[in-house]
Structure 1
Amino acid sequence: MDFKNDNVGIELLLAHMNIGDIIQAVEHLHLYSEREDEESGVLFEECLSQDEMDENEETLGGLVSHVQNRGKVQYGTVSDLLAFVNMVSNTSPSTLTELQEEIGVLLNKSDMVIKDGRYRIDVDVLLFPWRLTYKAPGSGHIPKGSFGKVHLAQDTETRKRMACKRIPLEHFKPADVEIQARFRHENIAELYGALLWEQSVHLFMEAGEGGSVLEKLESCGPMREFEIIWVTQQVLRGLEYLHSHNIIHHDIKPSNIVLMSAKAVLVDFGLTVQMTEDVYIPRDLRGTEMYMSPELVLCRGHNTKTDIYSLGTTIIHMQTGSPPWVRRYPRSAYPSYLYIIHKQAPPLEDISEDCSPAMRGLLERALERVPLRRSSAAELLHEEALHPSREDQPRCWSLDSALGEGTHPLLRQQSQMTDSTQDSSSLYTEDSGPCRRKGSLYIDLGALAGYYNFVRGPPTTEYG
């Protein structure tokens, strides 16, 4: 006769609990049992509020789920992924400290290979510090989010390249995952999965091996206007999608825009919120100082228009190579820009001198101080500045064809240089805008020799 054990789940839970915890739990139950006898029928449940009982039940359920799936990485849906990250967030760190194997949920079934319920770091997937993927990392900047560092990851079997953001467990929150998992768009970095291992949450997502806009600025100097136009179009498409769902990104800036061969995507959704009313009133200050809108600084309520203002400041950074305010108000003398933004916004004085009239008009509408008069993402997408004629925005010659011919005079000049990284940095100083633009062109040509893997211009399909 076969016997069915109905207590398998409890036995599995006890097998993974610390014996000291079990003894302490029994002592607590015994104490409450004695109190119940003394107080003539006062039940243990009555000693707790309903909210406390619900919280305890939720934590216990999460713990049981954690134990049952210990050491298991599995493919799943977006709902499975969100349930996993919520469980991680609600489980006490002491419980997760004893974790001996990785656990997680992966959405990408084609490019990420799970073996025996495991996806092991440095075995099944390799992580590389992002700076090591470039032979010339510029100032040594490594892309960072609100918390945690971004690495380049590669699946050892499929050779799929991804970005992996490692967030310490104490700083992780479900918001880091929720928006990116629930909302899919071409200009939002696709989330491939989440893994818990060694007290850190590893978020795997679409990789932009062209680096971030900030990396390009630090390595190449200010961007040319046709590049700015292309990046702005990509960002506005992503913002239009987010704003249509009442989602505020809250941290639009060069380091959160990642370049790919045919598109640019938004990353880092740790500060993102979805509004339930017309105005979002924050409990804390969200964003990065130099790119904040005046209404966000006041913390009295704002909406999706704050992202548009941040995009305007980002365009200024792309034009000049520096964030707004910092040239006129050096960080050494002004440790905080919040008061300056509140009193003097918008930073129209920081717009590049060689900015075209159409782009200046776009910036004035994006940086409008009053949110109600500020243009939306959908409106800016139809701006004249983003749809220049061939005469106003001449195409760059094809880098691929030039590489094949090898006869272009600029290429010959490039081949005569011994060290493109060293020489290019001497072409400009912090205060010489035109020279920095010359350096930018030189670094772009250096990419032909394999020194950089940056995106240098818009796809030909859009500027055909």
Structure 2
Amino acid sequence: MTILKSTLENINLFPFLDYPENCTDVSIYIPSLFINFISDHSHNIFYQDFEFYNLLGNGGFADVYRARSRVTGQEVAVKIIEKAKIRKNYLVNRVRREVEIHSRLKHPSIVELYTCFEDSNSVYLVLEICHNDDLQTHIARNGPLNEDVARHYLKQIVHGLLYLHSHNIVHRDLTLSNLLLTKDMRVKIADFGLATRIEPGQEHKTMCGTPNYISPEVVSKETQGLETDVWSIGCMLYTMLVGKPPFDTREVQATFNRVIACDYSVPRDHLSPEAADLITSLLRKLPQDRLKLSAILNHPFMTKHPSSHFPRKMVSI
């Protein structure tokens, strides 16, 4: 199958995001950026070049569709962002940043952005398609994961996040709904709408993210760094194993109050001592007290030998 590629193929314009060694065979894509949004030029790709199928998901200002390139035959996901909505909600810079960051990323645990284009009404991001929905939907349908499967997914998530953090990129919206599952049930990090690059000397205090997964420093609008993603990993692991987020309530403010107080309990009768210890090592109120991302893979929970089968290949699209 012919893969959608850049007209800037094999040119590394962003050396600070060099591919890991096991990805050097994949050509780099730096997309054309949006007329009136980021730059004043675009590639010759148009809406008519794609055949669109079913809706995969939607949000406040974007819809994602399954599609196929009429040129290459490749199946993709296309995120359609309405220009009027992002202008109205002052989100132009957010879309700029999303594309600027996502277009530079190449890792097996990160959804790939192949290309992008625009017309007078919308911006289109052409993305790698993941056929088995997201991890949140998977758990809602099938119940909590056993520890072997959760460990299997967590390793992939941590590897992807180590790649991001090695380039000082913080995701800021790591949730189970932003972890997509491929045909062979591998997990991929998606949605870089809130991601940002932490520059030396910069302070980030923006209140953003998903209530059940954001850290105390984000809720309190204190300085936040890469450690906020580590907190989110703790929330995701808890949810994978227990079936609900650790700070979940019926009201957002009540959830925020629990997050700030670090008010949660680990069902130790349900989890192994290793799983409980990893969760409590990640969900610590002070960022500096949390387990370092680089240490997660060496935690006893992660080095435990698997005793069960991993998810079978399946296709839900």
TM range (shorter): 0.7 to 0.9
Q: Which residue of the partner structure matches residue 137 of structure 2? A: 215
1:125 aligns with 2:50: yes
Whole-angstrom CA distance in 1 between matches of 2:220 and 2:60: 21
Higher relative contact order (CA 8 A, sep 6+): 2
Q: TM-score w.r.t. structure 2 length?
A: 0.80
Q: For residues 196 and 352 of structure 1, do their structure 2 counterparts lie closer, same or farther at Cα, with a shift above 3 Å needed?
A: farther
**237-246 or 197-206: which moved more?**
197-206
CA contact (8 A) 1:316 1:351 kept: no
Q: For residues 177 and 118 of structure 1, do their structure 2 counterparts lie closer, same or farther at Cα, with a shift above 3 Å needed?
A: closer
Q: Which residue of the partner structure matches residue 216 of structure 2? A: 294
Whole-angstrom CA distance in 2 between matches of 1:388 and 1:362: 12
Residue-by-residue CA offset, 1:331-363 (whole Å, 9 max, x unaligned): 3xx555223311x2152x155742111111111
CA contact (8 A) 1:162 1:206 kept: yes
Counterpart selection for 2:230 from 300, 308, 311: 308
Q: Which amino acid aligns with 2:309?
A: C
Whole-angstrom CA distance in 2 between matches of 1:191 and 1:318: 27
Identity %: 23
Q: Which residue of the partner structure matches residue 339 of structure 1? A: 257
1:271 aligns with 2:194: yes
Gaps of 5+ in 2: 1-5, 14-27, 87-91
Compute the RMSD of aligned alpha carbons. 2.9
Q: Which residue of the partner structure matches residue 165 of structure 1? A: 79
Whole-angstrom CA distance in 2 between matches of 1:384 and 1:341: 26
Q: Secondary structure at the match of 1:174?
A: helix
Question: CA offset at residue 322 of structure 1?
Answer: 2.0
**310-319 or 144-153: which moved more?**
144-153
Q: TM-score w.r.t. structure 1 length?
A: 0.56
**153-162 or 254-263: which moved more?**
153-162
Whole-angstrom CA distance in 2 between matches of 1:399 and 1:264: 13
CA contact (8 A) 1:212 1:258 kept: yes
CA contact (8 A) 2:147 2:241 kept: yes
Whole-angstrom CA distance in 2 between matches of 1:166 and 1:160: 18
Question: CA offset at residue 118 of structure 1?
Answer: 4.5
Counterpart selection for 2:154 from 220, 224, 232: 232
Residue-by-residue CA offset, 1:412-452 (whole Å, 9 max, x unaligned): xxxxxxxxxxxxxxxxxxxxxxxxxxxxxxxxxxx6xxxx5
Map 1:357-372 onto structure 2 (within 5 A). 357-372=273-288
Map 1:164-183 onto structure 2 (within 5 A). 164-170=78-84, 171=86, 172=92, 173-183=95-105
Whole-angstrom CA distance in 1 between matches of 2:247 and 2:237: 13
Q: Which residue of the partner structure matches residue 250 of structure 2? A: 330
Q: Which structure has the larger Rg over C-alpha atoms?
A: 1
What is the aligned residue count? 287
Question: CA offset at residue 104 of structure 1?
Answer: 4.1
Whole-angstrom CA distance in 1 between matches of 2:142 and 2:311: 19
Whole-angstrom CA distance in 2 between matches of 1:251 and 1:153: 26
Gaps of 5+ in 1: 1-73, 97-102, 106-116, 132-141, 401-446, 455-464
Whole-angstrom CA distance in 1 between matches of 2:52 and 2:246: 34
Map 1:294-443 onto structure 2 (within 5 A). 294-326=216-248, 329-331=249-251, 337-342=255-260, 344-345=261-262, 347=264, 349=265, 351=267, 353-389=269-305, 393-396=306-309
Whole-angstrom CA distance in 2 between matches of 1:246 and 1:86: 25
More helix by share: 1
Residue-by-residue CA offset, 1:233-259 (whole Å, 9 max, x unaligned): 111001111111111100000011111
CA contact (8 A) 2:34 2:118 kept: no
Question: CA offset at residue 127 of structure 1?
Answer: 2.0
Map 1:83-98 onto structure 2 (within 5 A). 84-85=32-33, 87-89=35-37
CA contact (8 A) 2:171 2:196 kept: yes
Whole-angstrom CA distance in 2 between matches of 1:311 and 1:120: 37
Q: For residues 290 and 398 of structure 1, do their structure 2 counterparts lie closer, same or farther at Cα, with a shift above 3 Å needed?
A: closer
Question: CA offset at residue 367 of structure 1?
Answer: 0.9
